Amino acid sequence: MSQTYFAGIDAGSTYVKAALMDENQALVAFDQRPTGIDADGTSQKMIAAMAEANGIPADHIQNIIATGYSRRIISMARDTVTEIKAHARGAAWSAPNSIGIRTVIDIGGQDSKVIVLDGDNEILNFAMNDKCAAGTGRFLESLARVLELDISELGPLSLQSNMPLSINSTCVVFAESEVVSLVARKKKREDIVAGIHHSLAKRIAAMARKAGAQPGILLTGGGGRNAGIASALDEALLMDIHVPEYPQLNGALGAALIGMTED
């Protein structure tokens, strides 16, 4: 009997992430590409490339579910699901070492989310920040540009800091001015970056507390690839922060897993 496969597409405003799983919930392939101006076309190329690389005929992909900001324009998806449901479903699969996850914190390029789960992985509550860039990856991208750093350098650099500086501005524009001022005063870049992480973590921690965050926290999205954010959140919430192997894929994985339960 032929193997069947399930695909999840997380069409975000910055990146499209796709995951291809087999019927035993094993991750077969994944891809991530900038969304560009054609999220639908990008998604089609990603699914085709993953199938071809793994010798999977198109008709063996039984279901494709889309989530994310641009989910409604993904023409090859047979259904869509909200980001909240996709991330909640992906958390149990993504959790390292079978840790019981009760809270998902997802930090994406344009928004951040906190999802509180019960012991059966059902959603109890959630909160989103999609109005202000100060609590999202865009905050980091803007300030990394000011410091002439690649965003991938921020995490390792911040962990070298012994004295994080205070970044008090709650607006990206004013925070940029604050960082420029610190650079002009010859402050260490690692202390500035650590201060940026603590500033972002402080905002997200406040949102998490308001949503009722419980211990057993999974950090996903692009923020999950930044060890400095994980450390700052750990300190802000006084709770252990767990990071999955593929933090950026959690939404796509959740969408693929939901696709397995549909007729």
Residue written as tokens 């990206």?
A: 172
**Residue environment code for 69-96, b if the CB has 16+ CB neighbours within 10 A, otherwise e:** bbbeebeebeebbebbbbbbbbbbbbbe
Answer yes or no: is 40 within a domain: yes
Q: Please give the pLDDT value at position 185.
A: 92
163-200 exposure pattern, b = at least 16 Cβ within 10 A, e = fewer: ebbebeeeebeebbebbeebeeeeeebbbbbbbbbbbb
Reported residue count of the chain is 263
- In angstroms, the CA 161 to CA 35 distance is 34
pLDDT of residue 123: 97
CA distance 145 to 160: 20
Question: What pLDDT, on a 0 to 100 scale, did the predictor assign at position 145?
Answer: 86
231 and 127 assigned to the same domain:
yes
Across the beta sheet with 103-107, what order do the strands follow?
123-129, 112-117, 103-107, 217-220, 241-242
pTM given for the model? 0.90
Are both 29 and 7 inside the same structural domain? Answer: yes
Q: Is there a single domain that holds both residue 150 and residue 59?
A: no
- What secondary structure letter does DSSP report for 164? P
Q: Could you say which residues of the chain have pLDDT below 70?
A: 1, 130-135, 169-170, 172, 263
Residue 108, domain extent: 96-243
Q: Helix 250-260 and helix 83-94: axis angle, to 10°?
A: 90
The domain that holds 156 is classified in CATH as 3.30.420.40
Residues 75 and 137 in one domain: no
Supply 242's token pair.
Answer: 């767990």
Instruction: Look at the chain and report how many structural domains it folds into.
Output: 2
| pLDDT, position 146 | 86
pLDDT of amino acid 76: 96
In a domain, 86, yes or no: no
